[in-house]
Structure 1
């Protein structure tokens, strides 16, 4: 179940982020990129110490567009409007009608719309933005609805490693999409990238409906001993089918708000890495799109691996009598503080492409450690409502995913010399504030309002 959810996340997030690399090929002029290159005064230098060659010619007869950095930022962020709208409702809906239906429908809808993206771009910016918003509505249902699965499948002491296996599909998706996207764009043109990942999504949708079951009780291939083990480990957390949401109590809960705000600040960092890594490398080093795809993909592969290892480490520490809240806060600190600090250092340590890729790789890799911290904290403080709360916290966090490209695009357009430095300093400031709030108010014990005996009705 963890691995099929990982596959689902790879598919959905790859469809989300492929435009981050195809944008380099979709924009027909380097003028905009050169305007935002304020990190070097002379010619960019490659990893071998010599001036970079100009980007290779892209395949003929591929449409290109004249979009400024600000317009690109709006396009990047538009999908997140839809995602934000459906993350929380889909978590609640999946808890009622089942994860299988909600995520399956999301996979199909997102795959269909990604197939339509090249056509939407031909009709203009407005058409492309609308298509991405609708695609985001579909994707939000998959990204938020999946967490209802874990309420009935994951024993408490296995949450870190199983959840991080599933969540690691997100950085791995960026690795796969950016790597293959760059190679395909260079050889066959950017439209084929959307068609390939749309087709993969349709295949994944079929696998999801065949392999996924909402409850181990109904799974046809699970062994009796494993079924009994899972059910018995969750017996104290399973509640009646009627789960009234104590909204009033939730709104007053500082531990919940600390998790939500830290998710928001961390999402700002993730969005910068996911959206602007290809653009940053292209603007500073002027490499061809194939090499850009390779350089930009490496950090996300490392992030996927580190996320899985971080989950294993978190559960190991729990077996060594570490307090749960200590593990959650340690994972969050390691996923936020070094990553955001390394991002700030980028404009000052850009002597070679190798150095930049190394810094991005370390930063991106460490961010995945937060998967064992804030991103599953709702399972600790309110297991009965975790699907709704994880969806709600991620929905709130996606406000950052909307604001980040718009604000970053504005900063890059307004300040050609120091644009990147301003973008990265803002990332650092926002992440430190969110981290401090979580360290002060974050908890890992079940809250009173989340206990069935104290169920609150609106």
Structure 2
């Protein structure tokens, strides 16, 4: 590939480390931003239907609504079993969805996954009435299959649309979809569950939101810049040169090379730890603060949402800080990823454990620890292993994250079950402390492995060369130039 870098030719080996594109990037708000925003919103909506059950199930199993006609149930099955059941079916689907999306395009598969999720979630009230806990678990299993497919498929979109130098910023857009969804779903579900509408309408509301997103994705979602009918030539060239894509080129998946690369296993292990921690925070924190600190469901929802709101705001700074550190050469790409991952996960894990030492008579002292949990976790999600896979290969990142998701769910399904297995008295903070110490270890140890194995080098099996059309863009290796055009996002 010919390109200019201070009047010199940039070698392909230099480009494998990523480039800082200094040509015309097209509109300030381009089609790439629309694709990333749409997938972020979709991820957030699906995640909300996954996580909000930790609030809704409290209303399903105790009379919380002011309306006495709203049903509630007494089940022998533990809440942790019902909450974790969504992970049982997601594992196998994550394993194959990324590969299928890379081969055949992700748009329609994403739409189908989101639609199936909406149908299964909508059926939970009827399933609870007819089949009790078993009925709810069946709905959750269907949701798990849909959501297990959705996550690696969105990675296909990110791998095709996100330029190398914007990964942290675009990664934040993806992360904010999850965090905002937690805020909204947690607060809204708690308020509705206690109102005269009752918990079923908390579910129906998010089903409607899910369906509306499907309509937007149908009209606005595209697999890659090549098939988008209105993307500008400048933006398309910027994306393709940055990612070294080639029009319509299908590349065989180098399975053996991918899974004999230590850096890949560093990403997979780190994702297992990060996702386990996220699962515990989103599913058990609500139960923990209700049982130990005696918050009612409405207080619980507000206290659970505040940390996520603060982490969402801090994430903006973290995202730009990550890109700034890299482009200004304060740290290399790989050391930036290592620092964000380890600091974020360890900080969040310590905050989780320390929340159990708050005296019940000073319940609101737990709020700062909840805030630190979310803020530190955001640090790792914005600049750590969540985007490191794209450094290795944008093309095959969906496969890496599909396998990571499968392994994460295999480990994560035991998270909510720890509450059932290890806690006999849910009001005892010391019993919760044991659960959270185990969580901290499961989250932190894999991040140490990531520090040891991580790489920012485009792998030889992940390198796809492109011969872009004229005009030739001006580019340079990331970190070797800090010049930027006015139209840079």
- Compute the TM-score of the two structures, normalised by the length of structure 2: 0.82
In 2, the alpha carbon distance for the partners of 1:433 and 1:142 equals 27
Q: Is 1:117 matched with 2:117?
A: no
Correspondent of 2:178 among 167, 170, 177: 170
Secondary structure, counterpart of 2:396 in structure 1: helix
* Number of the residue aligned with 2:344: 335
User: What is the match of residue 346 of structure 1?
Assistant: 355
1:420 aligns with 2:432: yes
Q: Structure 1 residue 414: deviation in Å?
A: 7.4
Which residue does 2:227 correspond to in 1?
218
Following the alignment from structure 1 to structure 2, what is the Cα–Cα distance between the partners of residues 192 and 152? 38
Q: 2:419 aligns with which of 383, 397, 408?
A: 408
Structure 1 pair 209/436, CA: closer, same or farther in 2 (3 Å)? same
Q: Give the match for residue 140 of structure 1.
A: 148
Give the superposition deviation at 1:246.
2.4
My pick for the range that moved more, 373-382 or 84-93, is 84-93
Query: How far is 1:290 from its partner?
Result: 1.3
Which protein is richer in helix relative to its size? 1
Considering only aligned residues, what root-mean-square deviation do their CA atoms show, in Å?
Answer: 2.0
User: 1:66 aligns to what SS in structure 2?
Assistant: coil
Unaligned runs of 5+ in 1: 30-55, 454-458
Residue deviations 1:355-412, cap 9 Å, x none?
A: 1122111111210122221011111123331111112112211223211011232111
Whether the 8 Å contact between 1:165 and 1:307 is mirrored in structure 2 is no
Query: Aligned residue for 2:134?
Result: 126
Inter-CA distance 292–65: structure 2 relative to 1 (3 Å threshold)? same
Does residue 382 of the first structure (1) align with residue 393 of the second (2)? yes
Q: Does 1:280 align with 2:288?
A: yes
The residue number in structure 1 matching 2:242 is 233
Query: Do the aligned residues in 2 keep the contact of 1:168 with 1:303 (CA within 8 Å)?
Result: no
Question: How much does 1:194 deviate?
Answer: 0.8
The answer on whether the counterparts of 2:65 and 2:198 sit within 8 Å (CA) in structure 1 is no
Among 48, 58, 66, the residue aligned to 1:14: 48
Counterpart CA distance in 1 for 2:169 and 2:322 is: 8
The Cα shift of 1:423 comes to 0.6
Cα distance in 2, alignment partners of residues 431 and 278 from structure 1: 19
**Which residues in structure 2 correspond to 1:54-453 (within 5 Å)?**
58-67=66-75, 71-122=78-129, 123-187=131-195, 188-234=197-243, 236-238=244-246, 241-321=249-329, 322-350=331-359, 351-371=361-381, 372-413=383-424, 417=428, 418-451=430-463
Tell me the distance in 1 between the aligned counterparts of 2:120 and 2:286: 23
- SS for the counterpart of 2:74 is coil
Q: How far 1:189 sits from its partner (Å)?
A: 0.7
1:167 Cα deviation after fit:
2.5
Contact 2:292 2:427 in 1 (8 A): no
Superposed CA offset, 1:225-275 (max 9, x none) = 2222222322x3548743322222333222211211111112221111100
- Residues 79 and 319 (structure 1), Cα distance of their counterparts in 2 relative to 1, 3 Å cut: same
